Chain A
Amino acid sequence: MEDPMAAIRETFFQECEEQLAALETGLIAMENGTADSETVNAVFRAVHSMKGGAGIFSLDALVRFAHVFETALDKVRSGSLAATPQVVGVFLRAADVLEDVVNAAREGGTVDEARTAALVEEFSHINDTPAAPAPTPAPAPEAAPTGGLFEDAVPPSQHWEIVFTPKPELYAKANETALLLRELRRLGPVTVTLDAGRLPELNELDPEGAYLTWNIALDSECDEEAIRHVFEFVEDDCELTITPPQSVGFAPGTVITGDNGFKFEFFPPPEMEPEEEEAPACAVATVAPAPVPAPHEPPAPPAPVKHPAVEVMAAKAESAVAVTATIRVDLDRVDRMIDLVGELVINEAMLSQRVMEAGIARASGVAMALEELEHLTREIQDSVMAIRAQPVRSVFQRMPRLVREVAAQTGKQVRLVTEGEGTEVDKTVIERIADPLTHMIRNAIDHGLESPETRVANGKPAEGTVKLLALHRSGRIVLEVSDDGAGINRARVRQKAIENGVISPDAQLTDDEIDNLIFLPGFSTAAKVSDISGRGVGMDVVRQSVAALGGRISIASRPGQGSTFTLSLPLTLAVLDGMVVSAHGHTLIIPLGAIVETLKPRASDVFPLDDHISVLALRGGYVPIVDVAISLGYCEEFIDPEQSVALLVEGEGGVRAVLMVDAIHGQRQVVIKSLEANYRAVPGIAAATVMGDGRVALILDVDAVVRNARSEAGRGEVPALEAN
C-alpha cells in the first residue's frame, strides 16, 4: 500500500507549484499596478499556505523563508507597507528564491544560501525590523503561564481549588462547562460545588445569560499549566481563579450537599450528559476520576485500529463531500483511453465502409444509425483529446523569472508582455515547448535587445519589450516571441554564413532568406559567446526540437525595429488532419498543415532540369517537383503531370516543393501510430495510421521528402530560397 504521508507530501508540492504560479501572477499584477485588494490577499495566501503545509512536513528552511516573506506581504495587505516598485521587486525575487527552496525541499537538494540570506536581509529592511535572524516559524500559541513557581515543586496528588464563572460569551462560542469538567476529570478526582446564588427568578432569566459559578476541587499531580490548558479556549470568556495546592483535600467520592439541601452525585460515568450543567436547580456534584492516563498524554483512540468498524468509517470518510470540481487522473489512464478511442474511430470507419460496400441505401435505418455513431465517435475523440489539453499558462508563467534573470545578467532593461496564456494545447506539446521558448526568449534579450544606452541613443525607451504570444491558427498553435530591439544584422549574418561556407559569396539572398540562415547548424553571430544564449547550442537546435514535434519555426525581422520568431506546432501528437492521397496504388496521408494548395499542373509548366529533377513554374517562380511514388521507391517512372494532382507543400523554414500524386481521396483525421514503436523508422515516413478498410496507410514526412528532393537537386545548401 502506498504510504499515505508520501502521497500527501506529493500533493503538498503540487499545491506549491500552483501557489508559486499564483504568487507570480499576483506579483506581476502588483508590479503593473493592476492589483486589487483580492490580488494582494491571494498573494499573501499563496505564501501563507505554503508555509502552513511546509510545517506539517518539518520543511524548516521553507517555513522560515515563507514566514519572512509572509510577514512583509501581510504588511502590504494591512496597508502598513506601500507596494512600491522597489518592494514588489524584492517580492518577485523572493518568489524566485521561494521556488528554489520548494524545489530543494522536494528533491532534497540545496539552495543558494547566500541568495536566500541576502533576501532575508532585504526583507528585514522592508519589515523595518533589525536584521535579526529569521523568526521562528510558529511559536506555541498562547504559551500559557507555566507557573514556574510550581513547575517542579508540586508533590504528588496536590489539592487544587478552581473557581470558574462562565460569561455568556463562553456559551456563544459553543463551549460547554460539562466538557471542561470532563477534561478536569482526566487530571484527577474532581469535586464540584455549584453556586447558583446569582440565578434570577424564571421570569427574569435571560436564556442566553450565564449565572452559575462552579467551585471545583481537584486532586492531581498535575501542574497549573495542565489545568490552564483545560481552560485554554475559554480563559477570556470566564472568570477563573486557580488556587495552588495547600493541603490534601476531599477524598474522592465525597458527596457534597448544597445550601438548599438538594444533593446529587455523579457516578464514575463513561459519558456525561452536557445538558445536566444547565439544570438550574442542581447544587452539588462529586465527580469521580475518569480512568484516564497522565494529563498530557494523548487520549487513546476510541476503537482498536483493526476493528472492522474503523474500516467502515475510513470508507465513509473517503466518500466525504466532494472537494473540488476537478479530479487528478493518472496520465497513463488518459493515454490508454485515447488509444482506445483511436481504435474506436478506426473500427467505426471500417464498419461504415463495410456497410457502404454491402450496398445499403444511405437513407436506410442502418446507414442513419451509422452516421449518428460516426458523429458520436468524433465527439468522444474530441472530448478525450480535450482532457489532455492544457493552457500554455504553465509554461508562460516560468518566463517572467527567466526574463528577470537574463536581464540582470546582460544589464538590459526588459519588460515581458504575454498574451494568450489560456490557449490550450496537448500536454505533451506543452512539456516540449518550454525549452525552445526559453531559448528564444534568451535569444531575444541577449541578441535582440540593445543595451539601455544604445536604445536611448537611438530614440527608444531604455526598457526593451519582449512579447510572448500564443494563439490558435488553422488547427495549430502559434507561439510568437517578438522584441523591439535592433533586428537581425543582416550584413553580419551574411558575412558569417560566407565565412562558415554555408552560402557562396555570390549567392543572391532576399532579406528573409538571410534572416533564416540563423537556423542553420552551428550558426552564431554573437561577437562573443555569452553565458546566456551561447552554451554551444544555436537556433538550429531549437529548430530541430520544434521539427521533432511536427512544428515549424521562422523569423521575421525589421532593422532597428526588432524581430519576431514564430513557432507553429500541432495541437496534439495523437491525431492528425491529413489529406488521403494515392501514389502508384499506395494510400498515403499528407499532413494537412503542410499543404499550401493543390493544383492540376499543365505539362507546359513542368521543366525537367535533368533526368531526376523537374521544376514547376508557379506564378512567376519555380518550385522543385517531388514525385512521391519515386521518392518512396514505389516505382522509377515519372508520373505523367497531366494525369496527376500536385500539392504545394511547405516544409520547415518555409521551404516549398510540389508533391505529385495520382489522386486525392479526401481529407480525414487519422490516429497516429508510431512506426518506430511498431516497426522501425523509415526515411520519408513520419508515422502510420489504420484506414477505415483496415489497411495501414503511411503518413508522409513532408519535411524529409522536401529536404531530400532539394539536396538531390543540388541546391540544399541554401534553404528557403524559393520565393513564389
Chain B
Amino acid sequence: MSTTVLTVDDSRAMRDMLRHSLVAAGFRVLQAEDGVHGLEVLETETPDVIVTDINMPRMDGFGFIEAVRKDETRRAMPVLVLTTEVDVEKKNRARAAGATGWIVKPFDPVKLIDAIRRVAA
C-alpha cells in the first residue's frame, strides 16, 4: 500500500500541482479544499500524512490542525504545513496547533516529498 497523502489547499492550481508532484513520486493523493472539507475527508479516509495550507476560507490551517489533534485516533497523524507564510509568529501558531512540520511556498516538490517521507511512518 502506497503512502496516502491528504492535501488541503483552497487553490485549485496548488492542489493540481501537489497531486501532479506527489502522484509522480508514487503517493496516493486525497484532496480537500479547506479545513472543513479536510475533516470530512478524514471521516472516511486515514491518510499517512496531511499537507495543509494555512490561509483558507471556512476553516484555516490552524483550526484544521487543532481539530485533527483533538481526535484521539489522529494524534499521531503527521501534519505538514505548506504555506507562503514566512512569519515566525504564524509558524509558532501552526506549531502550537500541533503541526508536525512546515514547508514554505513556493515549494520545491523535491523538498516536499522529502519532508513527507521524513514524517511518514
Contacts and interface: CB of A to CB of B under 8 A. Distances in A.
Interface of A: 4-5, 7-9, 11-12, 14-15, 41-42, 44-45, 48-49, 51-56, 58, 63, 137-142, 171-176, 178-179, 183, 230, 232-233, 236-237, 274, 298-299, 301-303, 305, 309-310, 313-314, 316-317, 320-321, 323-324
Q: Which residue among A42, A142, A321 has the maximum number of chain B CB atoms within 10 Å of its CB?
A: A321
A138 B121 CA distance: 30
Nearest to A63: B106
Contacts of A5: 20
Q: Which residue among B24, B84, B103, B104 has the maximum number of chain A CB atoms within 10 Å of its CB?
A: B84
A683 to B, nearest CB: 49
B44 to A, nearest CB: 8
B105 A138 contact: yes
Given A53-B13, A320-B30, A172 B106 contact: no
Contact of A298 (B27, B55, B95, B114): B114
Given A48-B55, A48-B84, A173-B100, A320 B113 contact: no
A8 B16 contact: yes
* Prevailing SS type, chain B contact patch: mixed
Contact of B98 (A172, A302, A316): A172
B93 interface: no
A683 B86 CA distance: 66
B100 to A, nearest CB: 5
The 5 closest A-B CB pairs, nearest first, are: A55-B106, A233-B101, A12-B13, A298-B110, A141-B104
B105 A321 contact: no
Given A7-B16, A141-B103, 15 more contacts: A4-B20, A11-B16, A45-B57, A52-B14, A141-B104, A173-B95, A173-B100, A178-B121, A298-B114, A299-B113, A310-B26, A314-B23, A317-B28, A317-B29, A321-B30
B32 interface: yes
Nearest to B11: A49
Interface residues of B, number: 58
Contacts of A14: 12
Contacts of B17: 8, 56
Nearest to A19: B11
A236 B95 contact: yes
B51 interface: no
Contacts of B75: 172, 174
A52 B84 contact: yes
A174 B75 CA distance: 6
A175 B2 CA distance: 20
A42 B84 contact: no
A174 B100 contact: yes
Given A45-B57, A172-B69, A299-B117, A55 B23 contact: no
A557 B24 CA distance: 64
22 contacts: A8-B16, A8-B17, A45-B56, A51-B84, A52-B11, A52-B105, A54-B106, A140-B104, A173-B79, A174-B75, A174-B76, A176-B76, A183-B118, A232-B101, A233-B101, A233-B119, A237-B95, A301-B26, A302-B2, A313-B2, A317-B19, A317-B28
Interface in B11-53: 11-17, 19-20, 22-33, 41, 45, 53
A56 B106 contact: yes
Contacts of B26: 301-303, 310, 313
B118 A174 contact: no
Interface of B: 2, 10-17, 19-20, 22-33, 41, 45, 53, 55-57, 69, 75-79, 83-84, 86, 91, 95, 98-107, 110, 113-114, 117-121
Q: Which residue among A42, A53, A183 has the maximum number of chain B CB atoms within 10 Å of its CB?
A: A53
* Prevailing SS type, chain A contact patch: helix
A78 to B, nearest CB: 10
Contacts of B102: 141, 233
Contacts of B23: 313-314, 317
Contacts of B104: 138, 140-141
B113 to A, nearest CB: 7
A140 B84 CA distance: 11
A52 B15 CA distance: 12
A323 B15 contact: yes
A171 B100 CA distance: 9
B119 A15 contact: no
B100 A233 contact: yes
A69 to B, nearest CB: 13
Contact of B25 (A174, A301, A324): A301
A263 B74 CA distance: 33
Nearest to B118: A183
A451 B117 CA distance: 66
Contacts of A313: 2, 23, 26-28
A174 B97 CA distance: 12
A321 B32 contact: yes
A138 B13 contact: no
Contact of A320 (B31, B57, B107, B120): B31
B24 A174 contact: no
Q: Which residue among B14, B20, B45, B103 has the maximum number of chain A CB atoms within 10 Å of its CB?
A: B14
A316 B30 CA distance: 9
A320 B121 contact: no
Q: Which residue among A48, A140, A176, A233 has the maximum number of chain B CB atoms within 10 Å of its CB?
A: A233
Contacts of B76: 171, 174, 176
Contacts of B32: 321, 323
B57 A42 contact: yes
A179 B114 CA distance: 12
A404 B8 CA distance: 37
Contacts of B27: 313, 317
Nearest to A4: B20
Contacts of A137: 106
A71 to B, nearest CB: 10
A51 B110 CA distance: 20
B113 A305 contact: no
Nearest to A55: B106
A708 B69 CA distance: 77
A363 B89 CA distance: 76
Contacts of B31: 320-321, 323
A230 B100 CA distance: 13
A312 to B, nearest CB: 9
Given A173-B95, A175-B78, A317-B29, A305 B24 contact: yes
